[in-house]
Structure 1
């Protein structure tokens, strides 16, 4: 298995994977309630707008060869996001999320408000998902490996907010650790878990020799 992957610009397919994968996610369920008619259209619209915004501002999207898993990140060190850029992003969300627009914007605002400002250079692992029913074993392992190679080669850590217990467990399996109190959604007990893995942790990660081609491949 090679862990070298070229970034994708297929935002529509990435958004489709994310929409399927996050269908039962508690945070997305708060953002766009399950009882809302046309729910998947609004969720996909939100995902599309967010991924497009990140790619337009130095972000990276990876997609597995089987088109059943995706990972999207944005760098902590990039050209500043202008007020006009932010307004355009909010307008893009509003245009495609109908009656869910308020909570969609509220979620982005919540993530921004709780984003740590004291971390060394890193990437924000904003979105990661595997399409339900995927028949490709190790699809996400390959994406995570590609990201870890990028981090290692560029001397970067990774920060993310896990939106479920299973997501948090997966990120911790790859070496990230909780670094902040949970981020609670307004008026609920639904929380996102902030996690971080430093470049030092990545450098001594047991999987790194495998990623660099020195040992036997990883298993899912």
Structure 2
């Protein structure tokens, strides 16, 4: 199955992909740090991910498998989101937990590479029961083929060993040290891939 680039997602597609991401990241160390209460995390994550899905879609930055069982969100080189509008959207989605997201975003911004043009991959997810089937690798490969053809790099931050392994298989290497969240929080691992 070849990946589908979805520039204009329907409302139902946005809802489906937001739920897929929320389910996949419910137990991720990053979202657990951001929203410690499990019940509240279940309630808030779909809205949180909806902001990311809609943002990526506005830049034609959503790759999915045809059946919608896997998704990869990214921003293309030169994307400049409206930070104030995003902050408002995340405040509406997360309430008091928006401050934790602001901390994450600030630390990410301090380490984000600003020199060479690149695709910025924010999230990838696969429906439960379909993991280990190469779906994310296929979506990632499609995006990297595009990046290579354009002669630009790719950047992401891995929040789990599985995420890091997937990017390493695709040719990413660590970019400097980890981004450590406060209070013995989890780490994000910056990963970079040069064009080939």
Task: Give the TM interval when normalised to the shorter protein.
Answer: 0.7 to 0.9
| Aligned positions, number | 192
Counterpart in the other structure of 2:27: 24
Q: 1:51 to 1:113 in 2, by over 3 A?
A: farther
Q: 2: CA distance between counterparts of 1:65 and 1:136?
A: 17
Question: Which of residues 6, 10, 15 is equivalent to 1:12?
Answer: 15
For structure 1, the 5+ residue unaligned runs are 204-220
1:144 maps onto 2:131 in alignment? no
| TM-score of the superposed pair, with normalisation by structure 1 | 0.79
For structure 2, the 5+ residue unaligned runs are none
Do the aligned partners of 2:121 and 2:154 also contact (CA within 8 Å) in 1? yes
> SS at 1:76's partner residue?
coil
Q: 1: CA distance between counterparts of 2:44 and 2:101?
A: 9
Shift of residue 162, structure 1, vs aligned partner: 0.2
> SS at 1:38's partner residue?
helix
Larger radius of gyration: 1
Do the aligned partners of 1:159 and 1:197 also contact (CA within 8 Å) in 2? yes
Do the aligned partners of 2:158 and 2:190 also contact (CA within 8 Å) in 1? yes
Counterpart in the other structure of 1:54: 56
| TM-score of the superposed pair, with normalisation by structure 2 | 0.88
Shift of residue 76, structure 1, vs aligned partner: 2.9
Counterpart in the other structure of 2:163: 167
Counterparts of 1:1-220 in structure 2, within 5 Å, are: 1=1, 3=2, 5-7=4-6, 9=9, 10-33=13-36, 35-56=37-58, 58-78=59-79, 80-81=80-81, 85-118=82-115, 120-134=116-130, 137-199=133-195, 203=196
Q: Root-mean-square deviation (CA), in Å?
A: 2.0
